[in-house]
């Protein structure tokens, strides 16, 4: 049996360099000029990122073993499914600020770049915290379980920019122009540098992702505490969020049971954290190990079932709708 490859700082640097290359290629070549991203283009980018994620998992299979490959796939699926709820919120933000379709990709590009930086910091802090205080995993588990219960029974809420403290601070510190200036975030207003409404949208998207990260980052620590797997699965899921938005935003109203499915995923992950033994502490009667293959199957089954049920009900409602024409 071949020895497993050790993850070194060079692997981290190489992975980050590849991601920066793809992002530069995206913005500097394929989206240099602002344009509306259609379904075909979004489908191609979604397929590309999913394919790259699967190839990365395959590479882990041969270099780090089957277990870490399954951990990556499970973490990727969790992060990707939780990002689907983020897609709906981003659509509400764009609708609230009436962002022209041609400018939405630019906001998502810089928003996701900021999200990668924030999540990198949160993952590093979370990994250090868990390594030092293993019992924090039980805190994460209880938090995810309660978050899932809250999501399961909470009513739908809209977007409320007036309640966002970051936007209120930005409006207090900088003048804001009343109109868009192309896809620019800064403009000139009465001889002074001012923010455009697009900059406020970017701040809203960034703070929204930060809120979602508070749920998703602890969730992946239920799958693995290996920083490289946590980081790479997060990155691939976030990078696929832009194309997923353009692919699904217009159809999110048909996913009636998606939020229920996401709530059940959070509750399952939280329960897994609470019942799994951690570290070298003694194992109690209620603790047992859930294999990573079972976790992957459960998460995939929950998401697939919620999507299929949603589409079936939506199709039935569409068919039963009376013809007003």
Q: Which residue has the tokens 């024409």?
A: 325
Dump pLDDT digits (tens) for 238-247. Answer: 888 877 787 7
Between 314 and 174, residue with greater pLDDT: 174
Nearest C-alpha neighbor of 314 from the set 233, 240, 257? 257
Query: What sign does the CA torsion over 35, 115, 16, 54 have?
Result: negative
Are the C-beta atoms of 295 and 223 separated by less than 8 Å? yes
Counting every residue written for the chain, the total comes to 325
Q: Residue 84's pLDDT is what?
A: 77
Dump pLDDT digits (tens) for 168-215. Answer: 888 888 888 888 888 888 888 777 888 888 888 888 888 888 877 777
How much is the mean pLDDT over the chain? 81
SS3 (DSSP) at 263: helix
Global pTM? 0.81
Q: Residue 255's pLDDT is what?
A: 78
Lowest mean pLDDT among 123-127, 253-257, 291-295: 253-257
Nearest C-alpha neighbor of 267 from the set 230, 304, 219? 219
Return phi, psi of residue 118, to 5°: -65, -45
180: left (phi over 0), alpha (psi -120 to 50) or beta: beta
Cβ neighbours around 85 below 10 Å, total: 20
Q: Mean pLDDT across the stretch 249-255? A: 70
Cβ neighbours around 286 below 10 Å, total: 7
Dump pLDDT digits (tens) for 103-114. Answer: 888 888 888 888
Q: Residue 1's pLDDT is what?
A: 42
Is residue 321's pLDDT more than 60? no
């Amino acid at each position: 049996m071949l020895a497993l490859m050790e993850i070194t700082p060079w692997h981290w640097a190489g992975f980050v360099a590849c991601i920066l290359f793809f992002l530069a290629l995206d913005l500097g070549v394929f989206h240099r000029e602002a344009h509306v991203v259609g379904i075909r283009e979004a489908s191609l980018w979604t397929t590309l990122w999913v394919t790259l994620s699967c190839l990365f998992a395959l590479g882990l299979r041969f270099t780090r073993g089957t277990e870490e490959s399954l951990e990556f796939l499970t973490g990727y699926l969790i992060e990707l499914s939780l990002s689907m709820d983020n897609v709906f919120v981003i659509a509400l933000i764009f609708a609230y600020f009436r962002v022209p379709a041609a400018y939405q990709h630019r906001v998502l590009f810089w928003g996701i770049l900021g999200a990668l930086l924030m999540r990198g910091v949160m993952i590093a802090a979370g990994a250090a915290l868990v390594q030092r205080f293993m019992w924090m995993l039980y805190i994460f588990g209880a938090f995810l379980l309660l978050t899932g219960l809250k999501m399961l029974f909470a009513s739908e809420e809209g977007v409320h920019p007036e309640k966002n403290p970051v936007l209120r601070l930005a409006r207090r510190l900088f003048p804001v122009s009343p109109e868009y200036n192309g896809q620019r975030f800064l403009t000139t207003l009465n001889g002074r540098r001012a923010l455009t409404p697009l900059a406020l949208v970017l701040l809203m998207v960034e703070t929204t992702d930060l809120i979602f990260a508070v749920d998703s980052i602890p969730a992946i620590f239920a799958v693995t505490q290996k920083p490289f797997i946590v980081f790479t699965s997060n990155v691939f899921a976030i990078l696929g969020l832009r194309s997923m938005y353009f692919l699904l935003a217009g159809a999110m109203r048909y996913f009636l049971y998606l939020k229920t499915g996401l709530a059940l995923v959070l509750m399952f992950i939280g329960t897994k954290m609470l019942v799994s033994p951690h570290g070298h502490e003694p194992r109690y009667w209620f603790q047992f190990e859930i294999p990573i293959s079972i976790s992957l199957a459960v998460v995939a089954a929950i998401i697939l079932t919620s999507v299929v049920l949603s589409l079936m009900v939506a199709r039935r409602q569409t068919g039963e709708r009376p013809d007003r024409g």
